[in-house]
Amino acid sequence: MALINYTRPNTELQNKRFSDILDEFFNDSLKYRKDSFIPSVDISETDNSFEIEVALPGMKKDDINIDLDNGRLTISGERTFENEESNKNYHRLESGFGSFSRSFQLPDSIDEESINAKYENGVLDITISKSEEKVKRQIEIS
């Protein structure tokens, strides 16, 4: 049986702009490299902290590294493909595997000592408290 490239429904060429077609082409070619895995990241902010959620399904927490260097937070690791059944023929494999590294420049208003990370159900949650001393404040003009 031959593998057939998956095409999203309702994506007719005549209804698309040329720039959208090019974006899809280049994004898809980068996205589906065999040796890379790019986890999805959600970053949010509250009054007291920054929260980062990274989707890392199927990984063990020992395979994930978190580093902070000069205000740059780097999350890296490797997601391996474990094919234990040698008699299994895959017809479609859409999961990404390989090494990854995502870096984010943190603002100066964080408390570097307060970074907490928790990994549960395939989601890495990182919470970074804001430093009250470094938070911008409104200066009143007299």
Delineate the domains of the chain, giving CATH numbers in brackets: 34-81+96-135 (2.60.40.790)
| Average pLDDT, integer, range 99-107 | 90
pLDDT score, position 16: 64
Asked whether 131 and 109 are in contact (CB, 8 A), the reply is yes
pLDDT score, position 122: 92
| Average pLDDT, integer, range 59-76 | 92
- Whether the per-residue pLDDT at 119 is higher than 90: the answer is yes
Closest CA to 100 of 52, 37, 41: 37
In tens, the pLDDT along 13-61 reads 555 676 666 666 665 555 555 556 789 999 999 989 999 999 999 899 8
pLDDT score, position 120: 95
